């Protein structure tokens, strides 16, 4: 009579080797011009959003007599709005770069198939 451990020994499969998994995970991804432009542009626009929050402050206290701002503070809503807009804009640029990369890989595969077929 077989016990549970004998059945497990019969049915178990070998786990994949760690070296094969690490080769799949550590593939170096090369970025094209559009993708690197999107990354650096977002970094620049992120810092610009912080600067704009300081340059255009929000009014937190208004004078009763002259109706002017007597105390200002950091404009977080402008900064967050600018960050959101720059994220969407840079995401579109990155997506265009990804489409270009995929089209190049399709072109390379097709050209290799055509060259291989003509031999």
Q: What is the mean pLDDT of the chain?
A: 85
Instruction: Say if CB 35 and CB 97 are below 8 A apart.
Output: yes
Segments forming the whole domain that contains residue 44: 33-111
Domain assignment present for residue 62? The answer is yes
Percent with pLDDT over 90 in the chain: 45
The answer on pLDDT for 68 being more than 70 is: yes
For residue 52, being part of any structural domain is answered with yes
In the structure, what pLDDT confidence band is assigned to residue 85 with cuts at 50, 70 and 90?
very high
pLDDT of residue 30: 81
Could you tell me the pLDDT band of residue 114, with boundaries at 50, 70 and 90?
confident
The gap between the terminal CA atoms of the chain, to the nearest Å, is: 62
Query: The pTM is what?
Result: 0.66
Count of domains for the chain: 1
């Amino acid at each position: 009579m077989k016990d549970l451990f004998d059945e497990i020994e019969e049915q178990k499969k070998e786990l994949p080797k760690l070296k094969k998994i690490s080769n799949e995970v550590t593939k170096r991804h090369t970025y094209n011009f559009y993708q690197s432009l999107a990354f650096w542009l977002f970094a620049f626009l992120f810092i610009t959003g912080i600067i704009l929050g300081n340059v255009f402050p929000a009014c937190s206290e208004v004078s009763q007599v002259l109706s002017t701002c007597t105390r200002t503070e950091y404009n977080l809503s402008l900064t967050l709005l600018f960050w959101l807009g720059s994220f969407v804009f840079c995401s579109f640029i990155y997506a265009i770069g990804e489409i270009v990369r995929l089209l190049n890989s399709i072109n390379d595969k097709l050209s290799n198939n055509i060259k291989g077929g003509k031999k």
